[in-house]
Structure 1
Amino acid sequence: MILLANCEAEPGFFHSVTALKAGTGAVDALVEGIGHVEADPAVRSVGYGGWPNMIGEMECDAGVMDGTTREVGAVGAVPRTLPVARLAREVMRRLPHVMLTGAGARRFADESGFISDEMLHPDSARVWWDKLEGLLDPAQRAAFPDLPLAPFSKAITDPERVRDTTVFLGRDSGGDMAAVTSTSGWAWKYPGRLGDSPIPGAGFYADSRFGAAACTHTGEMTMRSATAHAVVHAMQLGLDLDQAVEAAARDLLTLETGFLGEVVIHAIDATGRHRVVNLLGRAPVSYWIWTPEMAEPERRLSEQFQS
C-alpha cells in the first residue's frame, strides 16, 4: 500500500490512511479523505474554503480514476456542490459519460441525492469584492456583472492565490491504484474556466499496472502537455519512475508561450516508490507520504527540478 498527497491534503490524509489499513479499496479510501479537505474552511484552494470566479460564484472541479479498470469520472465548474470528488465518483459509477460540467453536473447531483450547498465563504466574498471594486469605475460597478469581463481577466485573475489543487494518489492492499483530485480553481477565474484537475491525462491519471500521477499549480501548462498521462505512459514504455517524471518535466519546460508558471508533479509506481518534483518554483513545496512501513505519515519537501 501507499498514499501520496500534496500538503493541502492534511485534513483528510489520515482518514484515507485509516481506510486503506482497514481494507477499503483505493478509490473509496481516497474519495473519503479528500471529502474532509473539501469541507475544511481552512484549506483555501478547495471546497468551502476556496475562492470564487470573477463574478463571485464558486465553481468547483474534481476527478476520480480507477487505475485497474481505467474508468474515470469528472465534474467541472459545478455550482452549489461541496463534495465534488464524491460527485465525480458517481459519474464514473452511474453514467456512460466521463465528465459533466456546470448546470448539468448540478442536475446530476440533485438526482443523486446531494444537497445544495452554500459555497461562498464570507472571507472569500470580502477579498474578492475588495479586489474587484478597485478595478471598476462607478459606472462599471453599477452595471456589474453585466459588462464585458475579458478586459479584466488578466488584472483580476489570480493563479498565485490558489497554488494547490488537492491531489491524492494511492494503492490499496489488493494492488489497485487510484487518483482523486479536487479544487476551486484559480481565484477570480473567468466563469466556466476548467483547469487540469478534472481533465484525465492532464491533471491526473492512474494505471494499476504501472503507476499514477497528478499535477498541481499551473493547469494551463499540464493540459497542453498531458503531463499526468505522460508520466504513466513513460513507465509503460519501460522507463523507471525517476526517468518518467523527469521526461514529463523536461517536456513541460519546452513550452515558451502562453501562460507559464510553477508546476508540481506527484507520482507513484506499482512497486510503491514515489517522486514529487517542483518546476519553475521559487522554493520546495511540502507533501504527505505514507507506506505500511512508516509508524506515521510523514510530511516531506519536494525536489526542485533541474533541467
Structure 2
Amino acid sequence: MFNRRKFLKASALSTALLAIGKKSIANTLPSSTNVINKPIVISTWDFGVAANADAWKVLSKNGRALDAVEQGVWVPEADESNQSVGYGGLPDRDGKVTLDACIMDELGNCGAVLALEHILHPISVARKVMEKTPHVMLAGDGALQFALEQGFKKINLLTPASEKAWKEWLKTAKYEPVINIENKLYDKAAPNKLPGNKYNHDTIGMIAMDAQGNLSGACTTSGMAYKLHGRIGDSPIIGAGLYIDNEIGGATSTGVGEEVVRNVGSFLVVELMRQGYSPEEACKEAVMRIIKKKPETAKNIQVGFLALNKKGEYGAYAIQKGFSYAVCDSQKQDLVIKGKSYY
C-alpha cells in the first residue's frame, strides 16, 4: 500500500544527499566551472612572489582585498634591490626619483599619486587620497604636501647604487628602454643596467580577490629609468595601468606605459571579460590593439597585461616573450608563470 508520508521523507532525504554529493564534487572541480577560486592574489613579474606572500597574510585571515594589495606592494616599494619600484628606483634624467601609484577597491573608489618624491610607500598615499579627499589624483609637490600632512616621513629615495648607475648613464645620456629588463642581468653593452640586478625600470601591478569574493588592485612604480622629469606612464592612471570592476574582474599592465595609456588598456581588458572573453583572451586582444595601431613601434617595446575574473581565473599576454607573473592561492603559494606573447 502506498504511504505518502514515507514517500515524502524518502524524497527529501534523496534530495539532501544529492545536494551534499554535488557540493562535494564541486569542491574538486577546476575554476572553469561555477566554483570560485578565492581568495587569490596575482601580480606582475617574478618579484611578485614576495609581494604576494605578504598579501596572502591578509587574505588567509579573511582580510579585505584592498588591505592585501596595499600590504603586498609595500614589499617591492621598500626593496632597494628592486630598481623599478619605490626606494632605490632609478631616477629621471635629472637624478630625481619620482614615484607613481594607484589603488582601487571593490566599490569603485580609487586614488592615485603622480611624480611623488621622498615618500617610501606611494601606494599608501594613494589610498589616503582615495579615502581622505574628494579627488582621485594628486601630483608632484601637491602630492608630497598632502603626504606630509597625513604623517608620512620624508626620506631620500636615491640610493648610492642608483646614483652610481645614473652618473654612468649621464656619460652617453642615451634613452633606450630595454625589453624585459627585469629578466636580464647586467652587461657592458647596456650601461643603464645595474650590476647584479635583474630589475631596472618597470612596475608591480597586483590584483586580489578576498574570501568574500571582492576585488581590489594596486599598481606602483618608479617609472622608466632616466625619463624626462615629470613624465607619467600608465601606472597611476585608473583605466590604463589598473582597473577593477567587482562584477567582472580586474586587470593591470606593465611595460611601456605610453602605449597602454593610448589604448586605455586595463579598462579594455575588463570590458572584454564582460563580453565573455577569458582573462588570457582579453589580455591578448588588448595587446593586439597596440600592435595593430603601431606595428613598427610594437616590435621594439614590451607591454603586458595581467587579469583576474570573478571566478578566480587568471591569465596574461604580452607583446614580447619574457613577461612573467606570480600567483598565490590556497593551492599555490609561489607559482610563477611565463605569460604568452605575440612575438
The bucket for the TM-score relative to the shorter chain is 0.7 to 0.9
**Matched residue, 1:262:** 302
Q: Secondary structure of the residue that 2:153 maps to in structure 1?
A: coil
Give a deviation string over 1:26-74, Cα, whole Å, max 9, x none.
Answer: 11111011112111111120111210011001100001011x2111100
The letter of the residue matching 1:202 is A
Could you tell me which residue of structure 1 aligns to residue 338 of structure 2? 301
| Separation in 2, partners of 1:259, 1:75 | 28
C-alpha distance 298-107 of structure 1, shift in aligned 2 (>3 A): same
Give the aligned partner of residue 57 of structure 1.
96
Counterpart for residue 175 of structure 2: 156
Task: Tell me the SS of whatever aligns to 1:114.
Answer: coil
Change (3 A) 1:188 1:103: same
Residue 14 (str. 1) matches residue 53 (str. 2):
yes
- The answer on 1:76 being equivalent to 2:114 is yes
Distance (Å, rounded) in 2 between the aligned partners of 1:258 and 1:107: 42
Write the deviation string for residues 146-202 of structure 1: whole angstroms up to 9, x where unpaired: xxxxxx6xx336465544301111101111101101100000100000000000111
Q: Does 1:32 align with 2:51?
A: no
What's the secondary structure of 2:316's corresponding residue?
strand
Moved over 6 A (4+): none
Report the alpha carbon displacement of residue 244 of structure 1 after superposing the two structures with TM: 2.2
Q: Look up the SS of the partner of 1:244 in the other structure.
A: helix
Identity of aligned residues (%): 30
**Greater mean deviation of Cα atoms: 186-195 or 241-250:** 241-250
Greater CA radius of gyration, 1 or 2? 2
Partner SS state of residue 307, structure 2: strand
Q: Distance in 2 between matches of 1:245 and 1:168?
A: 15
Does the CA-based 8 Å contact 1:39-1:47 persist in structure 2?
Answer: yes
1:273 corresponds to: 313
* Higher mean C-alpha deviation, range 241-250 or range 268-277: 241-250
The alignment's TM-score, normalised by the length of structure 1, stands at 0.87
Aligned residues: 283
Which amino acid letter does the alignment assign opposite residue 142 of structure 2? G
Cα RMSD (Å): 1.7
Equivalent residue letter for 1:237: Q
Match of 1:290 among 304, 322, 328: 328
> Contact conserved, 1:34 with 1:168, CA < 8 A, in 2?
yes
Q: How many angstroms apart in 1 are the aligned matches of 2:258 and 2:116?
A: 19
> Does the CA-based 8 Å contact 1:73-1:91 persist in structure 2?
yes
Paired with 1:293 and 1:11, the residues of 2 have a C-alpha distance of 16
Q: CA deviation at 1:2?
A: 1.3
Alignment match, 1:214: 252
Letter in 2 for 1:28: D
Q: Report how far residue 221 of structure 1 moved.
A: 0.4
Q: 1:163 and 1:17, CA in 2 relative to 1: closer, same or farther beyond 3 A?
A: same
Distance 1:290 1:11, change over 3 A: closer
